[in-house]
Amino acid sequence: MSAVGELLLAPDVRPFAVAAAIMVTLGGIELLSTMIGLSISELIGKDFAVEAESPSALSGLFLWINAGRLPLLILIILVLGIFSISGFLLQGLAHIVGTAIPVSIVAVAAAAGSIPMIRNASRGLARVIPRDESYAVSEDDFVGKVATVTVGPLDQGLPGRVRLKDVFGNWHTVSARAGQDSTALPVGASVLLVDRDAKSFIAIAAPADLIDQQQSSNRA
């Protein structure tokens, strides 16, 4: 086994190696699921939002680290990444000075020290990453809106993904597929969401006048 492998499997850094592995796995799953028109962040995001509304110390912590300002999956990956880096850094410093610190103590210190870093990092990311979901509006309101195909082409098979802006200026990415009589709708095409079912929205090619209105709205 290589020196790097031995280091990652060492007992005194194992929690941080596990956190890093989970972070990479979540990122890979989300990337693959998005490519086929699904998103694990959508599956867990709404449940999390409901829980975060209840008054408690935990929900207060979530709000303090900007849990509602960027997609939940991004926040989870950020938390795991900062915790992992902090743990490796602390144990590395301990090894440099020739001190052995129990992994439980380092884990607690890394978790506590990560919180302010997570807050600052999430605040910065929220400025550059558009929110895919906002709970100020109902997804039922998206019917009749013009969207842009981001993962496609849209056909009558597996859903793709479309992106649109709500009346408050928040961006949303939702699942959609082409209507029964529609031709395939390529990536980048402007589409009109005409209906929805349990799986996704139903889209058709958007009329030219609605496209012009949508472009004017997006520039505003």
The residue segments making up the domain with residue 188 are 139-219
- 134 is a domain residue: no
Query: Same domain for 124 and 200?
Result: no
- 207 is a domain residue: yes
| Confidence (pLDDT) at 28 | 84
Query: Same domain for 155 and 93?
Result: no
Strand stretches in the chain, DSSP E: 146-151, 160-165, 171-178, 190-196, 201-205
Could you tell me the end-to-end alpha-carbon distance of the chain, in angstroms, rounded to an integer? 58
State the pTM of this model: 0.52
- Is residue 160 pLDDT above 60, yes or no? yes
Q: Which amino acid is at 32?
A: L
Query: Same domain for 121 and 19?
Result: yes
Measured from the Cβ of residue 48, the count of other Cβ atoms closer than 10 Å reads 16
- 146 is a domain residue: yes
DSSP symbol at 153: -
**What's 167's domain CATH number?**
2.40.50.140
- 56 is a domain residue: yes
Percentage of the chain beyond pLDDT 70 is 68
Per the prediction, the chain carries an average pLDDT of 77
- 10 is a domain residue: yes
- Is residue 178 pLDDT above 90, yes or no? yes
- 133 is a domain residue: no
Q: CA 18 to CA 30: how far, in whole Å? A: 18
| Confidence (pLDDT) at 207 | 87
Of 106, 128, 150, the position where a domain reaches its end is 128
Q: CA 134 to CA 22: how far, in whole Å? A: 26
Residue 98 φ/ψ region, left for φ over 0, alpha for ψ in the -120 to 50 degree band, beta for the rest? left
pLDDT per residue as tens digits for the range 23-73: 999 888 877 776 665 656 555 554 444 444 444 455 556 666 666 566 777
Number of domains in the chain: 2
Query: Same domain for 41 and 119?
Result: yes
pLDDT per residue as tens digits for the range 74-117: 788 888 999 999 998 988 888 888 887 888 898 999 989 888 89
| Confidence (pLDDT) at 53 | 43
Query: Same domain for 77 and 150?
Result: no
Quickly state the pLDDT bin for 193 (edges 50, 70, 90).
Answer: very high
- Residues pairing with 171 in the sheet: 165
| Confidence (pLDDT) at 3 | 45
Q: Higher pLDDT residue, 189 or 3?
A: 189
Query: Same domain for 84 and 14?
Result: yes
Q: Is the dihedral of CA 25, 76, 78, 92 positive or negative?
A: negative
